[in-house]
Amino acid sequence: MSTKKILSVDDSRMVQTIVGKTFEPYDVTVSFANNGEECLTAAAREMPDLIILDVTMRVMDGFEALTRLKADAALKGIPVIMLTAEAGMDNVMKIAKLGVRDYVVKPFTKEGLMERVQRVITVKEKVATEETAPRSIEERLNVLVLDENTTAHESIKAVMRDYSWNAVCCSQPKEAAEMALKTPPDICFVSLSLPNRMAQNFLHAIRSDERLQRAPVLGLTRPEDVEAQNEARSAGFAHFAMRPVSGESLVDAIVQHFKMDHTPRHLSVENGVHSLNFPAQLTPSTLSTLRREFRDALRNATASSGKLLLDLTALSHAETGLIELVVSFTEECAARKVQTRAIASDTFVEKARCFAETADLPFYKTREEALASCKEALAA
Amino acid sequence: MEVFQKVLGWKADAKNGTSGIIMPFHTNGVTGAVSLAGRLNGIVYASFTEALAERAAQSVLGDPSPVDHATVNDVVGELTNMISGNIKAKMANVGYACRLSIPTVMRGQAIAIDAGNTPISVGSTFTFDNHPEIANIHFFARLETDSI
C-alpha cells in the first residue's frame, strides 16, 4: 500500500498542528492549505486521498470550497471530511447535503479524528525509516547543516562544540553530499529555500546511500512558508526546524527530535540567584556540560536577578582548561552586564593564583560574601 | 470545559458564575471574540491571562519554548471559536439558530467593552489544574423572534 496523501484545510495554525500530530505515527503525507482557495489549488496539484476541510475560514469558506470541488470532474471523487465548530442540527444537515463523507465537530481529540479518517481511507502505522530512538545528550553526534545563508555557520559550530557534537556546515548541496558520504551524519538540516529543488535532490541523493537512509533530515523553513513545507513533505521531508537558524535553535531541534534528557546537572537556584556548581571531578564531557549549562544559567540570570555565582568549592586542583573556562564565563557575564562571582576554597585559590589569567581574579569563600559583593557593586 | 479538556488536556473548574453584568465590563490579557447573528444575536468573549494564553499555545504545540504573539492569538481565537460553536449548538437545539463570525483577538489590560442591548449576559471564571492563571468567558445575547 502506498503512502496516503491527506490535505488539511484550516486557517488556524492550532488546528493544523493538531491534525499534523494526529498523523505523525502513520504512513501519511499531510499537506496544508489556509483557506478554500488554496485548497482547490492544492487538491488539483496533489490529488490527495482525503481532504479534511474546515467550515469557517477567511478568503473562501469550506462550504464554497466543497461546492467547487464537487463541481470539478477531476476533483469530485476526492472524499472530504468537514471540520466544524458548529454542531447544531441545521449545520449538520447542510454539510450532509453537500456530499461529504463524514464530519468532525471541534473540539476533537486526535483519536476521534483518526477514527473518522479510518472510516474513509485505510492508513497504516509508520514503519520506522528514520532513527528517532531516544539518545543521550552526552553522546557524540555528527550534525550536517546545508544552508545557503552562511551567517550562522560559525556560531552553529561553536555551540555544537559545547555539546561535544561535530557540526559540518555547507552552503552547496554537492559539498554537503560529499561530506555526508565521508562522515555519515546522525542528523541533517537542509534549507528549503535553496533554488531549483536542491533540497529535495539532496534528500534523494543521501537516501540512495544505504548508510544514510535512516539519518533524520529536517527542512529549515519559516512557519509561514506553508507552500515550501508542503512541497518538501511531498518529496519526503518528515520534520522541520524553524528559522531563524542559530546554534541554540538547532540544538533545541536536535534535543527535541532525539527526545534527549536536557535536565541541568550543575545548576541551582537559591533565593532567585543562579549558581553553576563545578563538580570535584572534571572530564572533557563535564566541561562540555558546564559550558552548555552556563549558557542556560546566563540566559536565566540576564532575565532575572542579574547575578550568577560560579561555585568552585568542590575543586582543589586548578588546570589550564578549567582556568580558561572560568575566565571565559566571567568575561561573558561582564559582556551581558551580569554580576558574577567565583566562590572557591583557599587551596584552589592558591593554585589559581599561579595562572596569569586568574592571578588577580577575586575569589570569595562563601556564598554570602559573594552576594554581598554583588550587592555593593550594584549599589555603586 | 470540554474544549479545554479535549484540546489542551486541562481539567477546568468553573467559578464565580455571574449574570446581569453591568456595562461596560473590562477584559484583560488576550481576549478572543466571536459574534453570533440570527435568531440569537450576541457575542462571546474568552479572555486569558497572557501567561495562560502562552501556556495554552505551548500545550497545543507540545513545546515549552516561548511562543510568538501571532501563534498565541491563533490559539485563543480558535478556542473562542470552539466555545462559541458549543453555545451555538446548544441554542440551535432549542430553536435559536445563529451563525458565527470569524474570531478576532485583542490584547491589553482593562479594555472596556459594551455589548449593547443584550438582556442575556452571563460570565464565568475558569481555573485549570490549580494554576493561578485564569480565563474568563462572557456571553452576551438577545433572542430575536422574526429573524432566520
pLDDT for B121-135, tens place per residue?
Answer: 888 888 887 677 888
Q: Does A83 touch chain B (CB under 8 A)?
A: no
Give me the mean pLDDT over the B116-145 stretch.
83
Percent of chain A at pLDDT exceeding 70: 94
- Which of helix, strand or coil describes residue A302? helix
pLDDT digits (tens, 9 = 90+) for A68-82: 988 888 888 889 988
Whether the predicted pLDDT of B24 surpasses 90: no
pLDDT at B47 (0 to 100): 93
pLDDT value of residue A129: 57
Is residue A219 a contact partner of residue A237, using CB atoms and an 8 Å limit?
Answer: yes
Q: How many CB atoms lie within 10 A of CB A55?
A: 23
For A285, the grid coordinates are 564531557
Residue A232 is predicted with a pLDDT of 84
Closest chain A CA to residue B148: A90
C-alpha cell of residue A225: 512558508
Out of A42-46, A107-111, A362-366, B1-5, the most confident range is A362-366
CB contact set of A224 (below 8 Å; sequence gap of 6+): none
> What's the pTM?
0.59
Whether the CB-CB separation of A99 and A246 falls below 8 Å is answered with no
Average pLDDT, chain A: 85
Q: Would B129 be classed as within a structural domain?
A: yes
The residues, any chain, with a CB within 8 Å of residue A127's CB and separated by 6 or more, are A27
Helix (H) or strand (E) run with residue B141 in it: strand B134-143
Chain B residue at shortest CA distance from A253 = B63
- pLDDT tens-digit map of A103-161: 888 777 888 888 888 888 888 877 655 556 667 777 888 999 999 999 889 888 888 88
Q: Which domain holds residue B76?
A: 2-143
What CATH number should be reported for the domain holding residue B34? 3.40.1550.10
User: Are the CB atoms for A94 and B148 separated by under 8 Å?
Assistant: no
Q: What is the DSSP letter of A126?
A: P
Q: Please, are residues A82 and A94 in contact by the beta-carbon 8 Å criterion?
A: no
Q: Please report which confidence band the pLDDT of residue A219 belongs to, taking 50, 70 and 90 as the band edges.
A: very high
- Taken in order A94, A99, A102, A107, the sign of the CA dihedral is negative
**Which of B60, B63, B69, B104 is best to mutate for the A interface (most A CBs within 10 A)?**
B60
Q: Is A56 in the B-facing interface, judged by CB distances under 8 Å?
A: yes
Give me the number of domains chain B comprises.
1
Taking only the tens place, the pLDDT of each residue in A14-26 is: 888 888 888 888 8
Please answer whether residues A62 and A55 qualify as being in contact, where contact means their C-beta atoms are separated by less than 8 angstroms. yes
Residue A109 CB neighbours (<10 A): 15
Amino acid at A214: R
CA end-to-end distance (rounded Å), chain B: 29
Distance in angstroms (rounded) separating the CA atoms of residues B67 and A14: 12
Q: Is the pLDDT of residue A31 over 70?
A: yes
pLDDT at site A301: 83
Q: Establish if B74 belongs to a structural domain.
A: yes
User: Which of the residue ranges A139-153, A218-232, A315-329, B35-49 would you say has the lowest mean pLDDT?
Assistant: A218-232
Q: What is the DSSP letter of B40?
A: E
Asked whether A19 and A117 are in contact (CB, 8 A), the reply is no
Residue B83 in any domain: the answer is yes
Taking only the tens place, the pLDDT of each residue in A36-65 is 998 898 888 888 899 999 888 888 888 889
Among A246, A278, A274, which Cα is nearest to A352's? A278
What distance in Å separates residue B102's CA from the closest CA in chain A? 7
**Contact call for residues B42 and B140 (beta carbons, < 8 A):** yes
pLDDT at A350: 93
Q: What phi and psi values does residue A164 have, to the nearest 5 degrees?
A: 60, 30
pLDDT at B148: 47
CA A334 to each of CA A48, A110, A157, A340: distance values in angstroms, whole numbers, following the listed order = 56, 49, 23, 8
Residue with more model confidence, A125 or A328: A328
Residue A113 backbone phi and psi in degrees, to 5: -65, -45
From chain B, the residues in CB contact with A223 under 8 A are: 71
- Interface with chain B: mutation pick from A86, A109, A224, highest number of B CBs within 10 Å: A86
What does A246-258 look like in DSSP terms, one character per residue?
A: -HHHHHHHHHHHT
Nearest to B61 by CA among A27, A6, A21: A21
Average pLDDT, stretch B100-113? 88
| pLDDT grade for A3, boundaries at 50, 70 and 90 | confident
Given pLDDT bands bounded at 50, 70 and 90, which one contains residue A312?
very high
Interval A357-366 mean pLDDT? 92
Q: Is A105 within 8 Å of chain B by CB?
A: yes
Q: Which residue has the higher pLDDT, A3 or B45?
A: B45
Residue A169's pLDDT is: 95
- Is B148 domain-assigned? no
- C-alpha cell at position A150: 552562511
Please tell me the predicted confidence (pLDDT) of residue B76: 93
Residues 6+ apart with CB under 8 A from A229: A31, A32, A192, A219, A221, A237, A240
Q: Choosing among A90, A103, A251, A252, which should be mutated to test the B contact, i.e. which has the most B CBs within 10 A?
A: A90
Q: Are A5 and A47 a contacting pair, CB within 8 Å? A: yes
List, in order of start, the domains of chain A with CATH numbers. Answer: 4-120 (3.40.50.2300), 142-257 (3.40.50.2300), 267-379 (3.30.750.24)
Distance CA A88, CA B86 (A): 9
Mean pLDDT of B65-70: 80
Amino acid at residue number A226? V
Range scoring the smallest mean pLDDT among A9-18, A157-166, A367-376, B139-148:
B139-148
The Cα–Cα gap between A28 and A113 comes to 14
